[in-house]
Structure 1
Amino acid sequence: MPALTWDEICADRSLADLPYKIETNRHGQIVMSPARHLHSRQQSDIHARLAKLSTSGYLLVEAAVQTTEGVKVADVAWGSDAFQEAHAQDETLTAAPDLCVEVYSPTNSKAEMQEKVVLYFAFGAKEVWVCDMKGRLSFYVSPTTVSEVSALFPQFPAQVVGQQ
């Protein structure tokens, strides 16, 4: 099957009800990750906590970002008012929101998550968070630097709901 554009993938009704998050790789091939209960709980917890802390900007769930390595979908994202104004018409974001959050699933590798961190920063993210299976957050302030607290949301806890 030839590679599809992101718009073609989004328009394909046969892909609409899959219980998977869909991304693409650099070759335009579809990559799917099965949804799991813990992943959904962590994603929801992070979104809810960010909603309480953000006084401006816009929160996103499943934010599709076009990168040089395909479309990557941040589990949770926050964009400033300026970001939202600049990208309001994007079907697929052409830049990464100010904050991109990735939540580990059992199928994710450390290399895959690190690649996403690098890509989000390369496409304009100011901060990237990675949530592990135990709910511990790593606050990346650059592709290689992890801070103990978030620069964008310093009140955000370093731990959310996790695997017992």
Structure 2
Amino acid sequence: MKWEEVCENKDLQDLPFKIELNKWGQIVMSSVKIKHSFYQGRIQRLLESLINTGEVMPECAINTSDGVKVADVVWCSEERFAQIEDEVSASIAPEICVEVKSSGNCLEEMEFKQKLYLEAKAIEVWLCNEQGEMKFYNEQGELEQSLLVPKFPQQIKR
């Protein structure tokens, strides 16, 4: 299955799951709980308050070497956004890709997605655990803080 088919399929709309594709075009669904949505929304609002340029977006579909993955929140420069805005799924990852862990995914899956986003040309990948603790990564590994948004907190508060 191709991502365009997923987007146009009426049976896959309004499902209470996050939908992605693996490299064989098979649908992978993950359930999302309220806490996941809370952290996703809080991260989006914090990013919007700390960065004056570019676009902050939730649920961004990105082409990876393992199929289309959907980052929970992304930040994209104006230049990169102009490159991908008319695409069905991003041919190049936004500069910042954020994944929020939920009970439905394991640490290995989060680390795998981190590698996929960096491979797809993300500059930083941020991971938020179920307690709201943030970890920041780039191609060199884990960072003390985000280099692109140094004022971003290491703990998302309720």
Question: Under a length normalisation based on structure 2, what TM-score does the superposition of the two structures give?
Answer: 0.97
RMSD of the TM alignment (CA)? 1.0
Please list every run of 5 or more consecutive structure 2 residues that lacks an aligned counterpart in the other structure. none
Any unmatched runs of 5+ in structure 1? none
Structure-2 residue corresponding to 1:35: 32
> 1:101 & 1:10 partners in 2: Cα distance?
21
| Contact 1:76–1:100 (8 Å) recurs in 2 | yes
Q: Secondary structure at the match of 1:64?
A: strand
Quick one: which of 124, 129, 138 aligns to 1:127?
124
Q: Please name the residue that 2:76 is paired with.
A: 79
CA distance in 2, matches of 1:135, 1:148: 16
Q: Which residue of 1 aligns with 2:156?
A: 160
Distance in 2 between residues matched to 1:126 and 1:119, nearest whole Å: 12
Aligned: 1:145 with 2:141: yes
- Displaced runs of 4 or more, over 3 A: none
In 2, the alpha carbon distance for the partners of 1:134 and 1:35 equals 15
Equivalent in 102, 109, 112 of residue 109 of structure 2: 112
Q: Which amino acid aligns with 1:113?
A: M
User: 2-side partners of 1:40 and 1:132: how far apart?
Assistant: 12
CA distance in 1 between counterparts of 2:86 and 2:21 reads 21
Identity %: 41
Q: Is the 8 A contact 2:3 2:88 kept in 1?
A: no
Residue by residue, what CA displacement relative to the aligned partner does 1:113-142 show, whole Å, maximum 9, x if unpaired? 111111101111000000001100000022
What letter is aligned with 1:127?
E
- Corresponding pairs, count: 158
Deviation at 1:94, TM superposition (A): 0.7
d(CA) in 1 for partners of 2:116 and 2:157? 26
